[in-house]
Structure 1
């Protein structure tokens, strides 16, 4: 099943891989070449293969860091809640909307800090680290609807519709006709 850019689903549409690339931008380069040849690129998909995550720890959070982060998120949630209460006139208060927002933000900060600190204490700080976990791919495949695959391969081999050469563009690692 293939989901297109506009969200419609094509059931039973056969597709073929016309090229495999080591990096995403090389695949995009050939896609641009097809676009330059007036090829219907809405019937082309770039598929990432060999996905894996690489976790990179960036540091341990202290008790103060955890409390500060909880207070900040609580402030935002509290202010938004106060604004919504005032906007829809859901409170019986003589205070104006700004004071309602400020009071809700202060309450949110206190509650957010308390909940974050409680979570930190319960886990004994074992989950208090900052990590960057990007998803990486080993290869990228250009996949084309089967009825257009031969035409796409021909266009790429002939070099029609080449845009300006971008730095780092390389030829596909393998191409199947």
Structure 2
């Protein structure tokens, strides 16, 4: 038997705002408090409002850094492939792994340089992107909102 799939967060439902808080950590704390109080948290949603995209620049990207990052990621991929192929090698396991790392590093270096050059100098920096919200609404199914409010206030479950 398959379990019913959860309602996607974008689907509108009959939810009521339990609390609005300024940070995700505060919303998470509310849900954790409800969970610790035995409330069925599958009836809870946390919705960020006032979303904005934020890109934090972490540093300058040069040809050397592009080559280095490409080489390191290629070496990791080469290590994985080398270990995988090494499982089927007879007596030369270590050499297969080392060749995988070396070839992966070389290909990664080349691809790192090529991909950086392909930007044509329009993106000479590294960054991390994310989303931030102005506030977070902790929503609860309408039929459970009174019970959730009581448990959040430290009272027992409402009948």
SS at 1:55's partner residue? strand
Residue equivalent to 2:69: 69
Q: Based on CA coordinates, which of the two structures has the bigger radius of gyration?
A: 1
Q: How many residues align?
A: 151
Residue equivalent to 2:154: 160
Contact residue 33 and residue 160 of structure 1 kept, 8 A: no
Residue equivalent to 2:120: 124
- CA deviations 1:58-89 (Å, max 9, x no partner) are 221111111111111111111211221121x2
Q: In structure 2, how many angstroms separate the alpha carbons of the residues matched to 1:35 and 1:121?
A: 51
Residue equivalent to 1:31: 31
- CA deviations 1:81-123 (Å, max 9, x no partner) are 1221121x2x6xx761110110121111111111111222232
Structure 1 unpaired stretches of 5+ = 1-5, 163-177
User: How many angstroms does 1:8 deviate by?
Assistant: 2.8
- CA deviations 1:109-140 (Å, max 9, x no partner) are 11111111122223223223111323211111
User: How many angstroms does 1:155 deviate by?
Assistant: 4.7
Residue equivalent to 1:146: 142
TM-score, normalization by structure 1: 0.71
Contact residue 33 and residue 161 of structure 1 kept, 8 A: no
Residue equivalent to 2:105: 109
User: How many angstroms does 1:29 deviate by?
Assistant: 4.0
Residue equivalent to 1:80: 80
TM-score, normalization by structure 2: 0.77
Aligned partner (choices 6, 9, 16) of residue 6 of structure 2: 9
Q: In structure 2, how many angstroms separate the alpha carbons of the residues matched to 1:83 and 1:37?
A: 48
Contact residue 79 and residue 105 of structure 1 kept, 8 A: yes
Q: In structure 2, how many angstroms separate the alpha carbons of the residues matched to 1:84 and 1:58?
A: 34
Q: In structure 2, how many angstroms separate the alpha carbons of the residues matched to 1:75 and 1:31?
A: 42
